[in-house]
Amino acid sequence: MSVSTEARPATGESSRIVFRRVLLKLSGEALMGDRPYGIDQARVESIAEELVSVQQQGLEIALVIGAGNIVRGMEAAAAGMDRATADYAGMLATVLNSLSVQDALERRGAQTRVQSAITVAEVAEPYIRRRAIRHLEKGRIVIFAAGTGNPFFTTDTAAALRALEIGAEAILMAKNRTRGVFDGDPREDPHAEFLPELTHLEAIERGLKVMDTTALSLCMENGLPIHVFELADGNIRRVVAGERVGTIISTPKTQGAAR
């Protein structure tokens, strides 16, 4: 499919963007800000502000949003709930988060579509890959809700899967209060070392807490780079402008990447 620029706002600033199409993964916690639970509206507004501004520079953006701010299947299962049911609840919670972000984006004039992996026809389109790509080409921000649609998976895996399906050049992982990947948990270990660069295999082998292993393997096998950075004001703009922010996880082509 060709890239149409017709519906794109012409700002003349596209030279400041080094990517054509990216997938941004926002964890549920990223929407929580400093609250203990749920959605911090001010945080959603500031994310939307930044996303609209980079999209207006000609970047095609798809989003996958988690739900750790509302329900995590594994935690609910540990408290006694049936795991698959808890996971479906988690997926539905990503729909809530997606609608909040959609609303904030549209109030700023962006065109958006939510595509859900679980049928919720009254509020979102079903996930249809070719349609999602067409929306992106038309300058719409596409939000992929309900993860992969399957229990026992995570929204990280959904992010890797959708990024590959739509031909995104990178996954941008915006984290809450963590500036990238460390060799330990910096919130618990003050000596944890920040890692500016690593390969997918290193992240898997060292068990670093970036993404779950399924998601990392999918990215590794397909040579999809991951930029991990703190969701602080201006960071999305910096990453898409090619600035070194946070950690870059990639696999050199000589190490057998498929892309």
Interface residues with ligand UDP (CB under 6 A) are: 27-29, 66-68, 72-74, 86-87, 90-91, 94, 147-148, 150-151, 153-158
Q: How far is the CB of 34 from ligand UDP (least distance, A)?
A: 16
Question: Which of 19/144 has CB closer to ligand UDP?
Answer: 144
Distance CA 138, CA 162 (A): 18
Please choose, from the candidates 52, 65, 53, 57, the residue with its C-alpha nearest in 3D space to the C-alpha of residue 23: 65
| Cβ-closest position to ligand UDP | 66
Instruction: Give least dist CB 242 to ligand UDP, A.
Output: 26
- Compute the least distance from the CB of residue 63 to ligand UDP, in Å: 12
Cα three-residue angle 64-115-72, rounded to 5 degrees: 45
Whole-angstrom distance, CA of residue 151 vs CA of residue 90? 9
Of residues 39 and 245, the one with the C-beta less far from ligand UDP: 39
Question: CB-wise, 59 or 158, nearer to ligand UDP?
Answer: 158
Least CB distance to ligand UDP at residue 77 (A): 8
The 8-class DSSP code of residue 16 comes to G
Q: Which of 39, 170 has the CB closer to ligand UDP?
A: 39
Residues 6+ apart with CB under 8 A from 60: 3, 20, 21, 22, 136, 137, 139
HEC readout, 91-113: HHHHHHHHHHHHHHHHCCCCCEE
CA proximity to 60, closest of 51, 68, 69: 51
Q: Which is nearer to ligand UDP, 56 or 148 (CB)?
A: 148
- C-beta of 166: minimal distance to ligand UDP in Å? 16
